[in-house]
Structure 1
Amino acid sequence: MITHIVLFKLKDATAEGIQKAQELLLSMDGKVEMLRHLEVGVDVIRSERSADIALVTKFDSLADLQAYQVHPYHANEVAAYMRSVCSQVVAADYEG
């Protein structure tokens, strides 16, 4: 199993901006077939060093993670939007 974690720092970290991003990330459920787990969390600490949103996804294999990266819904809708609204994005991918 491959776990893919992405932390997003939004340009517009208002409740509205965070909710819109969260809903879009969650909309991948059922649309991106290789996703085995999808979790989206909103930061509750709200410190200067905090990310605003955390995305945790799981895949059966590295090949499935790579297919997810270029999946039309993920690449053209979700990732494109997130790039446009984020000031910083960091990711980590690991087996386990």
Structure 2
Amino acid sequence: MIKHIVFIKLQNRSPESLAEAADVLRSMDGKIEQLKSLEIGADILRSERSYDIALTATVETLDDLQAYQIHPVHQKIIEYINSVKEVSYAVDYEI
């Protein structure tokens, strides 16, 4: 199993922008067969060092991770996130 974690800091950190971005990310749920689980969380501390949103996804294999990355639904999400993010970081690891 592979865990895929992404932290996103938005350009506009208003509650409305956070809610919209989180909803867009959640819209992937059930639409990409390789995703075994998907969690989206908005930061509750809102500190200067905090990132705004965390995405945690689980897939079975590295091949599934690659298929997820290029899936058309995910590509549309990336396009949106790239338009609203300040920065993002990802970590992928085996569990």
The TM-score with structure 2 as length reference comes to 0.98
The one-letter amino acid paired with 1:82 is: I
2 CA distance for matches of 1:33 and 1:81?
Answer: 21
2 CA distance for matches of 1:4 and 1:26?
Answer: 15
Residue of structure 2 in register with 1:70 after alignment: 70
Secondary structure (helix, strand or coil) at the match of 1:58 reads strand
Percent of residue pairs bearing the same amino acid type: 49
1 CA distance for matches of 2:42 and 2:49?
Answer: 14
Residue of structure 1 in register with 2:82 after alignment: 83
* Unpaired segments ≥5 residues, structure 2: none
Q: Structure 1: which 4+ aligned runs deviate by more than 6 Å?
A: none
Count of matched residue pairs? 95
The TM-score with structure 1 as length reference comes to 0.97
* Unpaired segments ≥5 residues, structure 1: none
Shift of 1:2: 0.1
Alignment of 1:94 with 2:93, yes or no, is: yes
Query: Cα RMSD between the aligned structures?
Result: 0.5
